[in-house]
Chains A and B, each alone.
Chain A
Amino acid sequence: MEPVKVVITGPVGAGKTAFARALLGEKALTTEAPSSTDIGKPTTTVAMDFGTLEVGPYAVHLFGTPGQDRFDFMWEVLMEGALGFLLLLGAHRPEHLPESRKILDFVLSRYQVPYLVGITHLDAERAWDLEDIALYLRVPEERVFPLDARDAGRARALLLRLLEIASQGG
């Protein structure tokens, strides 16, 4: 099987695990553990490998990065040979924008990788607009994609859009 790597990142609570589960279903690996600090939810992503989506001759490995700064050292290994990069972010948590921009600045200035920003929780009572998020993150609006991370159809649409971008050279 031909291996393909997609890296999924984003702040705590952005929906990384839900997104991987929506794509992989029951095959998704458990990468969560109880959080040792108050991050607003009982568990957080601690492992790298979300699991593999096997489609015909391809094995699409989904790697999730923990949302905390102290895991910065993992980027080099993670990004090596990645076909795509997804940053997930909750529209209802503007306090996560600075961290998200920091991640994008680092990754996009260091690695030539096709990317998309998936925006979750757009249905929250108070949520930022996609265009304002794009402006803050300093990315073109067409790279910011609405996402219900629990919905398999939306998760697939996001992955397909990422592959379209990759097919056009990033």
Chain B
Amino acid sequence: MALFGALEALPLAEVLSLLSHKEGALEVWNLEGLPPTTLYLRGGRLVAVTHKGKPLPPLDAKSAVQSLLLAKKGNFEFIPGAKPPGGEPLNIPIEKILLFTVAQEDELAHYRPYLPHPEARFRIVGNAPEDESLKEFFHQALPLLKRGASPREVAQALRAHEDLIRLKFYKLLQAGTLERARADERSSPPVGVAQRLLSFLRTVWNR
């Protein structure tokens, strides 16, 4: 019997909880903004993560799982007994992932009203943050943030969940590491029209 379904009805955390003592591969696809991902489980632990069959290094794997846990749309299927193609680079207890999910969702829910607009652009003005998880993100996003980027652009480049990236941007803004980027000057409106209109209005309104 196959274990399959849609994330709309069964979030990934629920599925992982169910699979915590099984061995095999959990394939997840049809995700919004995220590539098809496979999680390999063994003995209550996450032992590998692949994107299109390619094993991810530990940092990328962690980031992929964080994003996957927030996915609201997608399909999944568990393949019992499947082994990871590139060995077992990870050793993360599933229980720890599940606890992290709750904390992450709470944090996002708490800060959601204050998160920056997904398409607003920001750039680096401060040093790398002290916090380890932010530092990791900072270095991953550095090339984009140097020239100014929006949370959406960074999320797409890092293949991460947009809301997670907005939360990272929010924290970096609070820490003074980022500031609002200036718009491209090529889109500047004409000064001459403003000058002529101003002078006309001052005459008409006698100011």
Contact = CB atoms under 8 A, between A and B. Distances in A.
A and B physically associate:
yes
Contacts of A105: 116-117, 120, 122, 180
Given A55-B197, A82-B189, A160 B120 contact: no
Interface stretch (A14-22, A30-38, A110-118): A110-118
Nearest to A79: B187
A166 B201 contact: no
Interface string B173-204: 00000011111111111110111111011101
- Grouping DSSP codes into helix (H, G, I), strand (E, B) and loop, the B interface class, with mixed when no group exceeds half, is mixed
B122 A109 contact: yes
Contacts of B114: 98
B8 to A, nearest CB: 21
Nearest to B122: A109
B45 interface: no
A169 B179 CA distance: 22
Contacts of B117: 72, 102-103, 105-106
Contact of B120 (A98, A110, A168): A110
A57 B196 CA distance: 10
B194 A110 contact: no
A60 B146 CA distance: 38
Interface string A36-58: 00000000000000000001111
Given A102-B116, A114-B189, A166-B189, A109 B197 contact: no
Interface in B151-169: none
A60 to B, nearest CB: 7
A157 B206 CA distance: 11
A112 B187 contact: yes
A94 interface: no
Interface residues of B, number: 35
B182 A4 contact: no
Nearest to A2: B193
A160 B207 contact: yes
Given A102-B117, A106-B119, A110-B121, A170 B188 contact: yes
A60 B194 CA distance: 11
B87 interface: no
A109 B200 contact: no
B148 interface: yes
Contacts of B188: 112, 169-170
B193 A4 contact: yes
A7 to B, nearest CB: 11
Contacts of B190: 83
A110 B191 contact: no
A25 interface: no
Contacts of B183: 108-113
Contacts of B205: 156, 160
Given A58-B197, A72-B117, 16 more contacts: A4-B197, A81-B189, A83-B190, A84-B194, A98-B113, A98-B114, A102-B120, A105-B122, A109-B120, A109-B122, A109-B183, A111-B183, A113-B189, A138-B179, A160-B205, A163-B197
- Top 4 nearest A-B pairs (CB, nearest first) are A166-B194, A105-B120, A109-B121, A163-B198
Interface of A: 2, 4, 55-58, 60, 72, 81-84, 98-99, 102-106, 108-114, 138, 156-157, 159-160, 163-164, 166-170
